Amino acid sequence: MIKKVYVASTNEAKVKACKEVFNDYQVISLKVDSLVSSQPKSDEETIKGALNRAKALPKDGLRIGLEAGVNFHDDRLFLVNWGVLIDEEENVYYAGGTRIELPDFVKKGIFDEGKELADIMGETFHDQNIRLKQGAIGIFTNNQIKRVDIFIHIVKLLYGEYLYKMKK
């Protein structure tokens, strides 16, 4: 029997991360609405978006929702990423990823101008496909870490939690 994992996105970085981690599964990507703002502005909203995405997927396999957002801490704005995995028995697993501080021009663009991080990055660095490539994380880490890397990390955490529970 073929094992399935659904990923609630057609974004290349998210799908590639799932394919790398779930290499013995059939990975099926579906476009799903997060039901949160296009630029989540807190951990809570980012987690909710990932959960909403996972819940919207077919139930005949593992379901993964991945969401990127920003979060304030002590007046500093951080890039955040969250993932949710729901298994066939409706157990829900959560995992958070990398956090790096974002520069003031990003904070201004998101909160004063109402823009999305990807749009700010595209305008600033003259590349409208940054979210499909290295992402903001790639730019701000000098490509030491790329967007796919942070999603691979989250998907590994989710899958590891799932495997641990299955051993019990």
3-22 residue pLDDT tens: 999 999 999 999 999 999 99
82-138 residue pLDDT tens: 999 999 999 999 999 889 999 999 999 999 999 999 899 989 988 777 766 788 999
Query: 75 lies in a domain?
Result: yes
Separation CA 130–CA 156 (nearest Å): 23
What dihedral do alpha carbons 14, 63, 40, 16 form, nearest 10°? Answer: 0
Query: 50 lies in a domain?
Result: yes
Separation CA 66–CA 51 (nearest Å): 8
Q: Looking at the 3D structure of the chain, how many domains does it have?
A: 1
What is the pLDDT, as a whole number, of residue 156? 98
What integer is the mean pLDDT of 150-158? 97
Please name which of 131, 152, 164, 161 lies closest in space to residue 18, comparing C-alpha atoms: 152
CATH number at residue 96: 3.90.950.10
Query: 17 lies in a domain?
Result: yes
Query: 38 lies in a domain?
Result: yes
DSSP-derived letter for residue 24 is T
Query: 162 lies in a domain?
Result: yes
pTM of structure: 0.94
Query: 12 lies in a domain?
Result: yes
Geometric angle at alpha carbon 20, from 19 and 22, rounded to 5° = 60
Query: 96 lies in a domain?
Result: yes
For the chain, the farthest-separated pair of C-alpha atoms sits apart, in whole angstroms, at: 52
Q: Which domain holds residue 43?
A: 4-101+145-167
Query: 14 lies in a domain?
Result: yes
Geometric angle at alpha carbon 59, from 131 and 160, rounded to 5° = 65
